[in-house]
C-alpha cells in the first residue's frame, strides 16, 4: 500500500511541517526512503478542534452505533492484510508470528468493547425513584470528551494507534487524537488509514480520529496542553509518562492522565518451589525474560529468593541459559541506548554483580543487547531505590535475601508495579498467604506459579498499579474496565423520561442491567 | 463535654506546637477561651506513620468488621448528644434545626456505607475462569491506603471530620488523617473523640484515625507531601483545592486528589417556564440562593434567561425578594472577607450591574453580607471567564441573553460545575432536550424544574463535575460510589482459592453479586 508520510487530521492528509524523520529497520539500522512529517502546532490545534466538534455529535450517538463503528475498525484493520504485518516487522523486528498474534489480540479487544457496549451494563445505570422528601435521581456513565492517546513502541498494534487506549476511548464515545510512536511511523499510518476508513464508512464525524506523527517531544506537549483535550492515555516509559502527567497537572484546567509506565514485576520464589521444580521455573523465567527481547512492561526484572545453595544453583542455571540464548533484536535506537544506559547505571553500583551479559552485544547490524543477569543483596535494594529501575529489555536482577524476614522487609520496600509473582508449593499455603497479600499492595496483578508476561484480555484483568507503574492506580489499560478512564458519571434529577437517555428511562428499552432502588435488575422501574 | 484543644493522634492527645488559635462565634465575632494547637510537622509525621502501620492491619479486615466499626462511629456521634449541636451552632451560626438535620444526614451516610459493605456488590468482583490458553483471573476492589481528608467549613458535620470523605475512605478500608477546618475546631474535637472511641471499642488499630488542627496552610501541605499518604479527599475552595492538587502532583510519587471546590451552578429558565410559573420559580430561587446564607457549593449563582419583559420582571421580583430577605450569618471571617472580595471584583466589571446588595451589611456584630443580585449580558460572560467565579454566599448573577442562540453559545462557554438546572415546560420537551444535554457536558448533575441545593444521599447521586468543580470528574463525593475514590482493583492470576479473599473464592461464601464469565450472579463459579 502506498504510504504518504503525512499526518491524518480529521480524515485529511496534512504535512505542513518541514521537520521529517524516517522509519528505521532495527535489524540493520537502515532507514526507509519516505519522510514522515512531524506535526506542527497548527496541525495539533486543527486535530483537537476537529475532535471537539466531533464530540458534540458523537456524544448523542447510541452505544449501538459506536459498537458498529468499532466492529468496522476491526474489519478495516483486517482488510489491511499481510502488508500490515510486513510493514510492522520491518519497523520493529518483532517477527511475523508475534505480530500475527498481536493483530488478533488488537482486533479482538476492539470487538470486546463493541460487545461491552451492546450488553449495556457498562453504563452503570443507577436509579433511585422519587420518595418522600427525595427527588428521582438517575445516573449513568458518559464520555469525558476528546482524548489524547500516546502510542507505545513495544506493541505496534495492541498498544498503539488502534490499541487498547484508543479502543477504550472510542468505545467510551470520545474522539481521539493519537500521537503515533516514531519507532513505527509506517505501521501507524496503516492503522490511521483503517480507522479513517471506518470513520467515513460509518458516517462518524471526521474529527472522531486524527493521528499525528512526531519524532520529538513537541507534538505530545502541544497536545496535552491543548484546552480541548479532556483526558490522556499513555503507554511508555516512566520519564515520558511523568512528563505528560506534569504538563497536564500544570494546565489552567488539569485533566486526568492515565499513564502506564512499566515496572520491574517482582517475582518471589520459595525454597520449597525450588526444591520441587527448579528446572521448570528456570525455563519459564528465561522464556519470560527473553520473550520479545524482554521488551514487555510485564517483564520479570526483579527476582527475590532466600539465600541458599539451591538458590545459587538456580541463579547459575538461569544465568547459563540466558547467556546461551540468542540475543534478540531491540525495537529501535532509543530502546537500545536507554537499556545500555540503565544497565550501566545499575552495574556501576558496587553491590551489583553482573553474572552474564551487561553489554550491547548485538546480532550483526541490529539494535540489540546481551541477555543479562545481575545479582545483588536485599540490603542493597533497600538502600538504593535506583536499583528498582526498569531495565527495558532482556535483563533481570536476582536479589538474595538473608532469610524470610529479610525477604519480607524487601517486599515492603518495593515500589509500585504492574505485577507481582509468587512461586510456592501447595504445602506452604498456610504461610504464604500473608506474603501474597503483602505483595498485592505493591501491584495491580498477583500471579501464582506463573510468569507476568502475557496479559489476558478479559474483564477481570487489571493492568495497572501504584506509581511508578501508572499515574492512576484505580484504573486499568487492559480489559473492558479500561473504558472508565474516559467516562464520568452524570446524574439527572427529576428529568422527564422523554429527555433521558434510553438507558435511564423507566421502561428500560435497552433491557440492560441497572441498579434500581438498591436491586440489580434488567427490569423496568 | 470538656474539650482539650489538642490534636488526636492515633488515639492520643498531642499539643506539641506553640501556635494556637481560637474558636470564633460568627454571630458576635467573640473568641472562645480554649487555645487550639496547630499540629507540628512532627505530629503530622506521627499521625501518618500510625496510619501506615494501621493499614497493614486493617487491610486484612473483612468488610463486615469495617461495617460494624462504621455503625459504631455513627452511634458514638449520636452519643455526643445535643452538646454537639450547641458547640457547632456557636462556631458556625448555622442554627440548631439545620444542624440537627445535618447530624442525621451524617450518621445516615456513615450507616449507608456500612450497608454497602454488608451487601458486598461494591467490591466489583469479576471472575474469568481458566480456559484454553487463558489463566484464571479474578479481581476485586481493595483499599488504596492511608488517606488525608480535608474538612470543609460549610458542613461542620456532613463534610467534615466524620463527613462523607472520611466515611467513604474508612469504608474502603483506609486509615484517615483528617485536617480539621479551623472554622469549627471544637466541633472537630467532638467528632475526633467519637471516632477515636469507635476505634477503641471495635479493636481497630489506633492509627486508623487521627485529627490535626491547623489554622494556616502548613499542616495540610505537610500532610499531602507525606510519602505515607496514598490519596486525598478535600472539600473547600478552588484556591485551596488547586493548591493541594498541585502539591500532590509534584510529589516524587504523585497521588490522586479528589477535591470538590464548589461551583456557580448555572440555571436556565425558559420563557415558557416564566409564563407558567414565574412567581413559584422566583420564590424557589430566592430560597435556594439564601438558604444557609448561600454557603452551599450547589448554590445557584448564575441564572441564564433570554431577554424579555417577562425576564426583566422576574429579575426585579427576585431582586426585591432578595433585598427584603433578612441577611444571614456567614460562617467565619475567611468566608466574609472572601465573599466581599469576590463580589467587589465582579462588580468592578463595567458590564455588571448590582441590582441589590453588594456590601458587607451584617446583622449586628455578626459576620455577614447583604443578599446580592447582579445582572449582566451573555456577551459579558463569554468575554471574561472571571465572571464565572463562585461568590460563596447569598449572591446570584443574572445573565440576559439576546435570544436562544445567544443563550446556547453562553452555555457552551460555561466552565465545569457541580450542577446545571433547567426550568422549562412539558410543552417544550421537543426543543429542550438538546439544551439539557449540552448542559450535562458542563456538570455532574442536571436538575429539571428544581433547585440545586439539597443533595440527596442516594447511590444514584453524582456530586462532582468537570474542573473547576472538582479535580477528578470521574468521581463523586456524595453517595456510596464515593468509596471508589479510595479503592483500586487488584487481579489474581491462578491463585488458589484458599489464598483468595472470600469475595473471590469459587464457592462465593459471602453470597455477593459478581461478574462471573460474563454473567452477573450471586452463585458459585
Question: A220-263: per-residue pLDDT in tens?
Answer: 999 999 999 999 999 999 999 999 999 999 999 999 999 999 99
Mean pLDDT, rounded, of chain B: 97
Is A260 among the catalytic positions?
Answer: yes
Q: For position B429, what pLDDT does the model report? A: 82
Query: If contacts are CB pairs under 8 Å, which of residues 378-407 in chain B contact chain A?
Result: none
Q: For position A362, what pLDDT does the model report? A: 61
Sort residue B511 into left (φ over 0), alpha (ψ -120 to 50) or beta. Answer: left
Is B260 among the catalytic positions?
Answer: yes
The answer to whether the CB of A70 falls within 8 A of the CB of A110 is yes
Peptide bond before B388: cis, by omega within 30 degrees of 0?
Answer: no
Residue B1 predicted with pLDDT over 80: no
Please list every residue in chain B whose beta carbon sits closer than 8 Å to the beta carbon of residue A490. 440, 443-446, 462
Peptide bond before A383: cis, by omega within 30 degrees of 0?
Answer: no
Kindly report which listed range (A321-335, A425-439, B58-72, B504-518) carries the lowest average pLDDT score: A425-439
Q: For position B361, what pLDDT does the model report? A: 76
A102, A260, A306, A390: which is the annotated catalytic residue?
A260
pTM of model > 0.80:
yes
- Which DSSP string corresponds to A231-248? EEEEES-HHHHHHHHHHH
How far is CA A15 from each of CA A8, A19, A35, A226, rounded to the nearest angstrom?
A: 9, 10, 10, 20
Residue A361 predicted with pLDDT over 80: no
Nearest by CB to B495, from A60, A246, A446: name it: A446
Q: Going along A443-508, which residue ranges are E strands?
A: 443-448, 487-493
Query: If contacts are CB pairs under 8 Å, which of residues 168-227 in chain A contact chain B?
Result: none
CB distance from B228 to chain A under 8 Å? no
Q: For position B363, what pLDDT does the model report? A: 65
φ and ψ of A333, to 5 deg: -55, -40
Nearest to A67 by CA among A9, A17, A10, A120: A120
Using a pLDDT cut of 70, give the percent of chain A over it: 100
Q: Going along B311-394, which residue ranges are E strands?
A: 353-356, 372-377
Q: Give the HSE-up count for residue A32: Cα atoms under 13 Å, Cβ half-sphere.
A: 24
Please list every residue in chain A whose beta carbon sits closer than 8 Å to the beta carbon of residue B416. 253
Q: Give the integer Cα–Cα distance in Å for B324 and B394.
A: 13
Q: For position A112, what pLDDT does the model report? A: 97
Q: Give the integer Cα–Cα distance in Å for B292 and A200.
A: 54
A297, A306, A390, A401: which is the annotated catalytic residue?
A297
Averaged pLDDT for residues B13-30:
97
Q: Give the HSE-up count for residue A363: Cα atoms under 13 Å, Cβ half-sphere.
A: 11
In sequence order, the β-bridge partners of residue A520 are: A515
3-state secondary structure of B53: helix
Sign of CA pseudo-dihedral B302, B308, B313, B316:
positive
Question: Quick check: B448 and A496 CB within 8 A?
Answer: yes
Chain B, nearest residue to A478 by Cα:
B491
pLDDT tens for A264-290 read 999 999 999 999 999 999 999 999 999
Using a pLDDT cut of 90, give the percent of chain A over it: 96
Q: Give the integer Cα–Cα distance in Å for B227 and A150.
A: 29
How far is CA A231 from each of CA A114, A221, B349, rounded to the nearest angstrom?
A: 21, 13, 34
Q: Give the integer Cα–Cα distance in Å for A476 and A473.
A: 8
Please list every residue in chain A whose beta carbon sits closer than 8 Å to the beta carbon of residue B473. 144, 256, 488
Kindly report which listed range (A284-298, A419-433, B190-204, B440-454) carries the lowest average pLDDT score: A419-433
Kindly report which listed range (A234-248, A389-403, B352-366, B472-486) carries the lowest average pLDDT score: B352-366
Q: Which residue has the cell 501507524?
A: A188
Helix (H), strand (E) at residue A47: helix A41-58
φ and ψ of A309, to 5 deg: -60, -40
Torsion of CA B400, B404, B408, B414, to 10 degrees: 10
φ and ψ of B401, to 5 deg: -105, 145
Averaged pLDDT for residues B47-64:
97
- Residues whose CB is less than 8 angstroms from the CB of residue A337 and which lie 6 or more positions away in sequence, other chains included: none
Q: Which residue has the cell 488509514?
A: A193
Question: Quick check: A135 and B450 CB within 8 A?
Answer: yes
Residue B186 predicted with pLDDT over 70: yes
Question: Quick check: B446 and A253 CB within 8 A?
Answer: no
Helix (H), strand (E) at residue B127: strand B126-128
Residue A5 predicted with pLDDT over 80: yes
Cell of A47: 486535530
CB distance from A97 to chain B under 8 Å? no
Amino acid at each position: 500500500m502506498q504510504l504518504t508520510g503525512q499526518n491524518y487530521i480529521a480524515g485529511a492528509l496534512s504535512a505542513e511541517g518541514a521537520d521529517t524523520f524516517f522509519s528505521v529497520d532495527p535489524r540493520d539500522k537502515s532507514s526507509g526512503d519516505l519522510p514522515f512529517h512531524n506535526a506542527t502546532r497548527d496541525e495539533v490545534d486543527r486535530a483537537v478542534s476537529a475532535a471537539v466538534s466531533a464530540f458534540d455529535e458523537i456524544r448523542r450517538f447510541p452505544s449501538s452505533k459506536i459498537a458498529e463503528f468499532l466492529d468496522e475498525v476491526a474489519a478495516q484493520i483486517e482488510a489491511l492484510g499481510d502488508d500490515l504485518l510486513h510493514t510492522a516487522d520491518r519497523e520493529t523486528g518483532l517477527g511475523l508470528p508475534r505480530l500475527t498474534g498481536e493483530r488478533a489480540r488488537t482486533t479482538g479487544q476492539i470487538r470486546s468493547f463493541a460487545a461491552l457496549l451492546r450488553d449495556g451494563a457498562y453504563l452503570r445505570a443507577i436509579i433511585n425513584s422519587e420518595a418522600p422528601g427525595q427527588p428521582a435521581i438517575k445516573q449513568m456513565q458518559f464520555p469525558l470528551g476528546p482524548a489524547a492517546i500516546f502510542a507505545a513502541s513495544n506493541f505496534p498494534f495492541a498498544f498503539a494507534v488502534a490499541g487498547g487506549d484508543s479502543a477504550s476511548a472510542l468505545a467510551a464515545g470520545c474522539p481521539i487524537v493519537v500521537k503515533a510512536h516514531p519507532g513505527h511511523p509506517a505501521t501507524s499510518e496503516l492503522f490511521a488509514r483503517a480507522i479513517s476508513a471506518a470513520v467515513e464508512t460509518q458516517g462518524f464525524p471526521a474529527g472522531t480520529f486524527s493521528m499525528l506523527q512526531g519524532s520529538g517531544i513537541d507534538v505530545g506537549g502541544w497536545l496535552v496542553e491543548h484546552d480541548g483535550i479532556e483526558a490522556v492515555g499513555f503507554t511508555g516509559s516512566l520519564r515520558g509518562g511523568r512528563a505528560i502527567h506534569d504538563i497536564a497537572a500544570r494546565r489552567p484546567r488539569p485533566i486526568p492522565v492515565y499513564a502506564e509506565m512499566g515496572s520491574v514485576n517482582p517475582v518471589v520464589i520459595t525454597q520449597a518451589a525450588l526444591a520441587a521444580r527448579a528446572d521448570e521455573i528456570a525455563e519459564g523465567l528465561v522464556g519470560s525474560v527473553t520473550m520479545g527481547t524482554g521488551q514487555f512492561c510485564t517483564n520479570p526484572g526483579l527476582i527475590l529468593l532466600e539465600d541458599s545453595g539451591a538458590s545459587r544453583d538456580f541463579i547459575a542455571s538461569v544465568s547459563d541459559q540466558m547467556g546461551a540464548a540468542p540475543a534478540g533484536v531491540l525495537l529501535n535506537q532509543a530502546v537500545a541506548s536507554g537499556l545500555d544506559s540503565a544497565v550501566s547505571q545499575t552495574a556501576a553500583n558496587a553491590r551489583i554483580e553482573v553474572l552474564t551479559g551487561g553489554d550491547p552485544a548485538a546480532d550483526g547490524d541490529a539494535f540489540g543487547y546481551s541477555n543479562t543477569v545481575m545479582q545483588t543483596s536485599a540490603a542493597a535494594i533497600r538502600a538504593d531505590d535506583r536499583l528498582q529501575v526498569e531495565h527495558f529489555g532482556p535483563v533481570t536482577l536476582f536479589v538474595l535475601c538473608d532469610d524470610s524476614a529479610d525477604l519480607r522487609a524487601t517486599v515492603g520496600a518495593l515500589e509500585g508495579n504492574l505485577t507481582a509473582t509468587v512461586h510456592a508449593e501447595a504445602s506452604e499455603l498456610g504461610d504464604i498467604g500473608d506474603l501474597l497479600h503483602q505483595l498485592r499492595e505493591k501491584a495491580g496483578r498477583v500471579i501464582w506459579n506463573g510468569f507476568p508476561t502475557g496479559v489476558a484480555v478479559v474483564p477481570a484483568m487489571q493492568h495497572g498499579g501504584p506509581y511508578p507503574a501508572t499515574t492512576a492506580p484505580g484504573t486499568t489499560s487492559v480489559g473492558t474496565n479500561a473504558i472508565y478512564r474516559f467516562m464520568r458519571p452524570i446524574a439527572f434529577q427529576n428529568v422527564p423520561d422523554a429527555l433521558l437517555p434510553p438507558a435511564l428511562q423507566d421502561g428500560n428499552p435497552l433491557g440492560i442491567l441497572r441498579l434500581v432502588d438498591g436491586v440489580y435488575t434488567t427490569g423496568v422501574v
